[in-house]
Structure 1
Amino acid sequence: MCRWLAYSGTPVLLDTILYKPAHSLIDQSLHSKLGVETTNGDGFGVGWYTQGVDSPALFREIGPAWSNRNLRELADHVSSPLFFAHIRASTGTAVQQSNCHPFRHGRWMFMHNGAVEGFHRLRRDLTLLVDPALYADLEGTTDSEVMFYLALTFGLDEDPPAAVARMAGVVERVGREHGVEFPLQMTLAVTDGERLWFFRYSSERASRSLFHSSQVEALRRLHPDVTFLRDVSEETRLVVSEPLGDLPGAWNEVPESSYGVVRPGGDELHPFVPTPA
């Protein structure tokens, strides 16, 4: 499987989140505590937004994150109010740049941990459900990218939770038509550059780990000595596959079969149920 993080809030250098925490994503690439694999070295990617540019920038490579000098250099110089980072452990598809997360389409960015079980058998049926106008933009061979393009097909621009619910419903239907008992395992994040949605769901109701950070105001009261908390806005949030450290009160597990949204004016958390297809 994989590990990922999503950051939204006060602009910070990528280094602040990617490298500095005790159990940073870079540390997780070698020493994951909650993942299926301890090591996540089958490529990585970072995507970020900058002021005045609608489409996010991407930097993706096929080697491991822990030894990439270009990522280290970039993280020391790029600042962003919203970024995704992902370290990959392949579930069977090729280790190639086009298969590294995050994925991008227009202003949208998407990343995923999990798998479509039996994807090699389901791939044709699922890809044929992608809108023909979008099909030519598919670059890689992963189940994750197909999930993203199905969500785009089902109205990601208009209603992201509904689009992801339809995507999940289609994957489950097609999977069961092919005799797959538990077709879908996913924690995923998607953003339009302003709002951030995150989802935790699996057909088996035994989803991979996912956590969101506590409200900054509460953390300041608990930990007045933590410098980072003094410098960020109260709307700053992190969503992570596993906690970046052991700061008491900092991390909250995302409930099974639920989704959340981080946006200006208030966060939300709701049950997630796939739409039958």
Structure 2
Amino acid sequence: MCRWAAYRGEPLYLEELVTSPAHSLIEQSHCATRAKTATNGDGFGVAWYGDHPEPGRYRDILPAWSDCNLKSIARQIRSPLFLAHVRAATGGGTRRDNCHPFVFGRWSFMHNGQIGDFEHLRRPMESMLDNDLYSARTGTTDSELLFLLAMQFGLDHDPLGAIAEALAFIEQLASHLERQVLVRFTAAFSDGHDLYAVRYASDWKAPTLYAAPMGPSGGYCLVSEPLNDDDSAWVEIPDGTAVIVGENGVDVRLFSTQGTPVRKYRSA
């Protein structure tokens, strides 16, 4: 499993999440306390928004704790909205293209979780993508493909609806192919304006998600595990929940794939 942190609010330096806290993301890369695997050393990445619609991004295959460039960048880059991720690979090789966050246009996306029997579902999932989205796929992870599938299903117009349809499609596809129906999905994604997060699992065992206020005025942080030992500051987001952090604060909603209309699988 992976660890990630995301922020939206008044501009902060990336180091406020990535390097400075007692349980910063770099600390979690070699000593996570609320994950099945304590070490998340299969690469890292950060995506941030500034003066352009599309996010900036920096990724590498080194463990986050050993990359001096990451510490330098985190100290210098200041952003109102950013995503950061350290990877513990459950599928796909250790290569830069498999490191989160993934980006397409103005969207950025990072994920902690897995798709059961992904090797048997990958090809029919890919066949649902239009040519431009299929061509945008450069890595081999289930996370990147799930992100592009959500783009195909309308992430631009209905972010939570597109994620729900993508997850429901995977569950129904697995059932149709008589494979394991298992999706574990705790993810953060953004269009540069709002920050979204979803915690969901088909077996109700989704990876953890916590939230807390951060920054000088109305900012909010979403993380895989708390960045410090102040338990009173962090609220655990329940399984089956979506969170939207926007201009007007935080909106928390129930999230489910049940009853989600799903388009039919098309053969390649």
TM-score by length of 1: 0.91
Residue pair 2:91, 2:142 contacting (<8 A) in 1 also: no
Stretches of structure 1 lacking an aligned partner (at least 5 in a row): 217-228
Shift, 1:175, TM fit: 1.6
> What is the aligned partner in structure 2 of residue 31 from structure 1?
31
- 8 Å Cα contact 2:195-2:245 kept in structure 1: yes
Given the alignment of the two structures, is residue 194 of structure 1 paired with residue 208 of structure 2, yes or no?
no
Q: How far apart in 1 are the matches of 2:188 and 2:106?
A: 14
SS of the aligned residue for 2:76 comes to: coil
In structure 1, C-alpha distance between the alignment counterparts of 2:175 and 2:68, rounded to whole Å: 44
Return closer, same or farther for 1:196/1:85 CA change in 2, 3 Å cut-off.
Answer: same
Q: CA RMSD in A?
A: 1.2
1:74 to 2:105 alignment: no
Normalising by structure 2, what TM-score? 0.94
Question: Which residue number in structure 1 is paired with residue 106 of structure 2?
Answer: 107
CA distance in 2, matches of 1:196, 1:66: 26
Q: Which runs of 4+ in 1 moved over 4 A?
A: none
**Structure 1 residues 43 and 163, CA, compared in 2 at 3 Å: closer, same or farther?**
same
Cα deviation, residue 276, structure 1: 5.0
- Structure-2 residue corresponding to 1:271: 254
Structure 2 residue runs without a partner (length 5+): 263-268
| Deviates most, 178-187 or 40-49 | 178-187
Shift, 1:13, TM fit: 1.2
* Residue 240 of structure 1 pairs with residue 223 of structure 2: yes
Whichever residue aligns with residue 17 of structure 2, its letter is: I
What are the Cα deviations for residues 98-117 of structure 1, in whole angstroms up to 9, with x where unaligned? Answer: 00000001110000000111
- Mean CA deviation greater in 15-24 or 107-116: 15-24
Secondary structure in 1 aligned to 2:36?
A: coil
Tell me the amino acid that sits aligned with residue 135 of structure 2.
A
Q: Is the 8 A contact 2:40 2:87 kept in 1?
A: yes
Pair 126,100 (structure 1): closer, same or farther in 2 beyond 3 Å: same
Distance (whole Å) between structure 1 residues aligned to residue 178 and residue 227 of structure 2: 38
Shift of 1:209: 0.6
Instruction: Name the aligned partner's letter for residue 9 of structure 2.
Output: G
* Percentage of matched positions with identical amino acids: 42
Is 2:189 aligned against 1:206? no
In the alignment, the residues of structure 2 paired with residue 140 and residue 165 of structure 1 have an alpha-carbon distance, to the nearest angstrom, of 23
State how far apart, in whole Å, the 2-side matches of 1:34 and 1:2 are: 11
AA matched with 1:201: Y
Using the TM superposition, give the Cα deviation of residue 83 of structure 1 relative to its aligned residue in structure 2, in angstroms: 0.5
> How many equivalent residue pairs?
260
Partner of residue 179, structure 2: 180
Amino acid at match of 1:107: R
Cα distance, 1:184 vs. partner? 0.5
Q: 1:125-164 maps to which residues of 2 (within 5 A)?
A: 125-164=124-163
SS at 2:120 equivalent = helix
Letter in 1 for 2:219: T
Conserved? CA contact 1:176–1:183, under 8 Å: no
